[in-house]
Amino acid sequence: MTLPIRVLVLEDHSFARAVAVNTLKQLGCREVFQACDGAQALAVLQEVGAVDIALCDLCMEGMDGLEFFRRVGLSGLVGSIIICSSLSADLRRAVRQIVSLSGLRLLGDVGKPLHSQALAQLLEKHRSAPRNDLIPVHVSEQACESEVRNALSDGQLQPFYQPKFNLLTGEICGVEVLARWLHPFKGILSPAVFMPVLERFELLDELLFTQMDQALTLQRQAREQGFTLNVAFNLHAQQLTHHQLTSSIEGILALHDARGCGLTFELTESGLLEAPATSLENLVRLRMMGSRLSIDDFGTGFSSLQRLCQLPFNEIKLDGEFVRTLEDEPRCLAVISSTLALGEALGMSVVIEGIETNEQRQQLLALGCTQGQGYLFARPMSGADLLRWLPVSSVSRQKN
């Protein structure tokens, strides 16, 4: 089978480069280009145009992989990166962060020597990824204030829902609400385009309250179908400084005849370095309403364990980066095990993000994890799609 995928191989060793090129062709890639270093790769891209994937070594005598990532990140000439390097696992993990910070999508890390099966899995992952999930827009291409205000008032900023699962039974525990911009001309746009604007002009509360209104309606519709869904909303630390936050939330709950125990509020730990009195009061009031409080992207910020003990959270969401490298990096296994133990010791549930394979699910179950979220189970979807998907998912789970 021929795959409509264009791949560029960056490798300075001629034999290894030839092996990679031949392997990709045997796997069915339509077009495979090659370069001995980053400089030659940039020249090839200028000549042949954009490629879907760049398979990159990191240590090269000419322009190395790191410089190539920086140079190509803003060009739009590379869709995704596959790292192929013999560097140690801890260094490759740092490089994965560099790829993301360069504005590129990391498809995977196959290490060295190159194995055909691992590469085939990543090609299939690329092929099966929905093309309309998000249009990648670099952070520098943020929308202007007037565009975002109009999108908010016109209802173009819509909630998408990603389910959370019990890893053992497959039962749906709840959904996380994610904002997407349904642009009339550009399609579905990433939060990177509009969230910084909402934050800068203090429009986050307006988005939250609109999302709550829509999500609580969906929660009721799901309940009428026999599904009880906890709904999780993302909160920014800036919103916790608003004195009227919890009273506004209580007002929306009252309009929908809903209870706070059906809600979770997720905050990234990087925003919790300082918690003034008003913020702490809002956190306590949210818990008093019966809502759950979750520290999102745990392990990626800079808050101390002391803050974890001081603030009234009862859920930890471990960042998906630790799962993506679970199989080949002992440090990530240690972080996951330690976080699960920490959660149990503190009486906090632990939800692990980024689960994409059944192998990862089985490893997490073996470690004692029971709740997870990721593309293995479901991608973010619209409310209408979620209501159609719930009965199908339930029937599938019962058959299995």
353 flagged as catalytic = yes
Choosing from 61, 202, 353, 356, which is the catalytic residue? 353
Which residue carries 């202007």 as its tokens? 144
112 in helix, strand or coil?
coil
List the beta bridge partners of residue 135: 189
C-alpha–C-alpha distance, residues 130 and 326, integer Å:
24
Outline where DSSP puts E strands in the chain. Answer: 3-10, 29-35, 51-56, 78-83, 105-109, 157-166, 172-183, 187-189, 230-235, 263-268, 292-298, 315-318, 349-352, 371-372
Q: For the stretch 258-283, what's the b/e string if a residue is b when 16 or more beta carbons lie within 10 angstroms of its beta carbon? A: bebebbbbbbbbebbeebeeebeebb
CB count in 10 Å sphere of residue 251:
11
C-alpha–C-alpha distance, residues 237 and 225, integer Å:
35
What are the angstrom distances between the C-alpha of 293 and each of 249, 267, 342, 345? 14, 8, 16, 17
Per the CB < 8 A criterion, the answer to whether 17 and 11 are in contact is: yes
HSE, side-chain direction, 13 A CA sphere, residue 291: 24
C-alpha–C-alpha distance, residues 99 and 92, integer Å:
10
Which pair of tokens denotes residue 158?
């819509």
C-alpha–C-alpha distance, residues 106 and 379, integer Å:
18
Q: For the stretch 67-83, what's the b/e string if a residue is b when 16 or more beta carbons lie within 10 angstroms of its beta carbon? A: ebbbbbbeeebbbbbbb
User: Got the DSSP string for 5-63?
Assistant: EEEEEE-SSHHHHHHHHHHHHHTTEEEEEEESSHHHHHHHHHHH--EEEEEE-S--SSS
Which pair of tokens denotes residue 200?
């800068």
Positions marked active-site: 353
